[in-house]
Amino acid sequence: MQSRIRAAGIADIDEKLRGGERLALEDGVRLFECDDLLAVGALANREREKRHGAKTYFNFNLRLEPTNVCVASCLFCSFARLKPTDAAAYTMTLEKAWDKLRQRAHQPLTEIHVVNGLNPDLPFSYYTELLLGFKRIRPDIHLKCFTAVEIAYFADLYGMTDEQVLTELMAAGLDSLPGGGAEIFAPRVRRKIAHDKCDADRYLSIHRIAHGFGMKTNVTMLYGHIETIEERVDHMLRARGLQDETGGFQAFIPLAFHPDNNQMRKLPAPSAFDTLRVHAVSRLMLDNIPHIKAFWIATGLDVAQTALWFGVDDLDGTVQEEKIYHMAGSPTPEGVTMSHLSRLVRSAGREPYERDTFYNVKEPVPA
Ligand code: V47
């Protein structure tokens, strides 16, 4: 492999990594420009194994999107409906949202991940009641709910500070924040694809506040649309910068753009090659974020499995009821079983571990 890494022109980057030296923006760009994916993957795999050996994590989780009514018109989104009167617009009653959890009383779920549209018609109490109700039904469930973009929207809509919103949601049972809404931090891209979302500084500031309150969060990156390689690496470096300050990010999650039924539908979806490369470079640039997650609903199950040799150590979870990607054309199943994930991991020569949201692991999952 050494001669391959030399031939690929990345021996100096290999040296830096061996010496524990941080990679710079130019290194990240060169890794993206390197055609030898196996050489880049080998470096990423070494970093992965240094941290986690063969361990591969996932949890038993449920995705819920209680409303898709949204005032934002992000070019990549196939889920949002601007008008509540649109035939495909919906807002669940609290009872209906709680029922989704009640119906799964038999499942050993450990986490609910909630993502919503930015709905202008709901009172703030809808969200606090939603959380309180989930905890009443299942006090031990972890509530990973509302992206930083939603938190910013709540603050602006209900006349509160970001701190007040987080404090009130935490009092109602919020346990952590998911990483959604990051898209691409660079203003050139963000203005084009997500012009009415909060900007990168506010997104990062909300995560900073959450970390200061003792919460863990994730951070995502939507790739494969109009962003440049430099803008991808810049995005990673901004996440790395906040992590240096707070240490509160648990996982970095590259999200593959899905082009069906949205305003960027003329663009092709990113290739498997690009997806493996993005995950590998993420592992190499983000030396301070413990986990790199392949969200299998976005990458496809086969590519997520392969990514376990390209820097990835986490596969999210069972993800039942997902809508955002399925409305954008994802052909993946709507949820998989723990034994399916376990088989995928084992047949890739890795070890499956069921985790909770904080990466406490149970025993290895039986095949
Ligand atoms: O922010 C929306 C993305 C995100 C499309 O924190 C799209 O553990 C591709 O953030 N093509 C929401 N992506 C989902 C998300 C997430 C997923 C898994 C795990 C975690 C976590 C967070 O979905 C949005 C946006 O970036 N998205 N539409 C689309 N057409």
Q: Is 262 in the pocket of ligand 1 (CB under 6 A)?
A: yes
Assign 261 to helix, strand or coil: coil
What's residue 42's pLDDT?
Answer: 97
Q: Is 78 in the pocket of ligand 1 (CB under 6 A)?
A: yes
Domains contained in the chain, CATH given: 2-353 (3.20.20.70)
Nearest ligand 1 atom to alpha carbon 76 = 30
Q: Is 70 in the pocket of ligand 1 (CB under 6 A)?
A: no
- 93 near 115, Cβ under 8 Å? no
What's residue 334's pLDDT?
Answer: 82
What's residue 366's pLDDT?
Answer: 63
Rg (CA), the chain: 20
Give the β-pairing of 111-114 and 61-64: parallel
Q: Is 184 in the pocket of ligand 1 (CB under 6 A)?
A: no
The one-letter code for the residue type at 361 is: V
Tokens for 258? 């899905």
Q: What is the 3-state secondary structure (H, E, C) of 276-298?
A: HHHHHHHHHHCCCCCEEECCHHH
**How far away, in angstroms, is 193 Cα from ligand 1 center?**
14
How does pLDDT run along the chain (367 residues), one tens digit per residue? 889 999 999 999 999 999 999 999 999 999 999 999 999 999 999 999 999 999 999 999 999 999 999 999 999 999 999 988 999 999 999 999 999 999 999 999 999 999 999 999 999 999 999 999 999 999 999 999 999 999 999 999 999 999 999 999 999 999 999 999 999 999 999 999 999 999 999 999 999 999 999 999 999 999 999 999 999 999 999 999 999 999 999 999 999 999 988 999 999 999 999 999 999 999 999 999 999 999 999 999 999 999 999 999 999 999 988 888 888 888 888 888 999 999 999 999 999 999 999 999 986 766 6
Which of 74, 176, 222, 255, when mutated, tests ligand 1's pocket best, judged by the most ligand atoms within 8 Å of its CB?
Answer: 255
User: Which residue's CA is minimally distant from atom 9 of ligand 1?
Assistant: 257
Nearest ligand 1 atom to alpha carbon 178 = 6
- Provide the whole-model pTM: 0.97
Angle between helices 148-158 and 200-212 (to 10 degrees): 90
Give the β-pairing of 361-364 and 351-355: antiparallel
What's residue 367's pLDDT?
Answer: 62
